[in-house]
Structure 1
Amino acid sequence: MLAAGEGRRSGHHTNKVLLPLAGRGVFTWSIESARRLATVTHTVLVIREEDRETVMATLDREVGQPDVAVVVGGDSRHSSEWQALQALAPMIEAGEIDVVVIHDAARPLAVTTMFASVIEAALEHGGAIPVRDQGHLTALDDGGEQPPDRVVAVQTPQAFRAGPLLEAYRLADADGFVGTDTASCMERYTDVPVLCVDGDAGNIKITFPEDLFLAERLLAKADWDLSGRQRHRRESAMSHLRDLLPHGERDRS
């Protein structure tokens, strides 16, 4: 679970995955979704060192399970993934872990069935990434229109067989290669096929302040079973999030 980004575009100095969403930290939603699966046996949360105190307090309060390993990430997504894999390496080498799932903590609405889908596909094919169709992109040259290419948006969680994934990142570390995402490293150093599975329109990434409002609305629409205490905290969270929006956006909310 990657939670080491700065999230500057969220309009707040706080790491966006630590912001409140429906009464709990953004990053704990997807931890809970993944851990509903019996097949998910280990969880590694990659954080910034400066967030450690807040992260540990939030985990204790909202997850309440001590078996989430917390490691400090690097200066890129790739290096943060490598830190997580090194934490899992002894268990991968011992054959205790078949598949590793990489997920952005800034995607709090990834549902349990999506985690299950990519894990199943990775077990069968080697790797799996969820994608959403974004329509056609038409390229032009001096002769006019070229055949359109389909554009897709790649989401997380992404899942890969553990052994080849660990080996790919070891080779990348030796070469000094920094991939843009997990799949790019796998494609460079292995011949493991990566299957595209259906993404989810609701699996939004928290990038801008308004994304938090959208996530709130999606959670409300899904009729999540919130306790009275959580509902009270949810109202406080909404008040806090309104302060992050420009005045025009506040008026429309």
Structure 2
Amino acid sequence: MATPETRGYKAAAYFLRSIFGPATRKDWHGAENLPKDSGFIAVSNHVSYADPITLGHFLYLNGHPPRFLAKSSLFELPVIGKALHGVDQIPVYRGTSRAKDAVDKGIEVLRRGDMIAMFPEGTLTRDPDLWPMVARPGAVRMALDAGVPIIPVAQWGAHRLLAPYGKMFKPFPPKTITVVAGPPIDLSDVGDKRDAETLRNATDRVTATLTAMLADIRQEEAPSSPWDMRKGGRVSGAES
């Protein structure tokens, strides 16, 4: 059973909606694909620092208050840190002995019936044309370990509110934000396997699904292979 929203969560949601609501025009589809009887992970492409707000807006107004994984350093800031703790967000301690804490907390959140929103790329896309990059396997591993579905949610338009790596918020004129939730990604063939190759193939399936959905939104042909940030260019499916 999902956890009831705290007063802090409701207050934060109201504050963000008051800012982003007038600045956006909703072009939302696929809410029927969001599970109502279990926890789940919503995965999305990532082109702007405004993405968590636009994705969160879609999920929240469709009855799914999202939990995000955020850098642990943000939780140490005086005001922001208190706010993040108050809305039940999950700190990520990268490169430390506590790195697994986020996974354990995430699985706890999912098993109690709540949902988590994740950007599998782990950072803003470096693709010159803003297509999804090669993703990290964390979302797949967490979903498999918690026994919950992965719902792909492609979005487009937040970069017009806030350019990639930009600092200037542009609320006027209002920007159309397209968000589309698809059916669960089929990972039934994975079973109990957790080896690197299996997780890599399943994660590539997530990337391919989001890319195809984004191509439909943009009405453009997607590249034949994703951008690999580690290599600074596109790679074939076999190399990713």
Both structures adopt the same fold (TM-score exceeding 0.5): no
Query: Please, what TM-score do these two structures have when normalized by structure 1?
Result: 0.30
| Higher Rg of the two aligned structures | 1
Higher RCO (C-alpha 8 Å, min separation 6)? 2
Query: Please, what TM-score do these two structures have when normalized by structure 2?
Result: 0.32
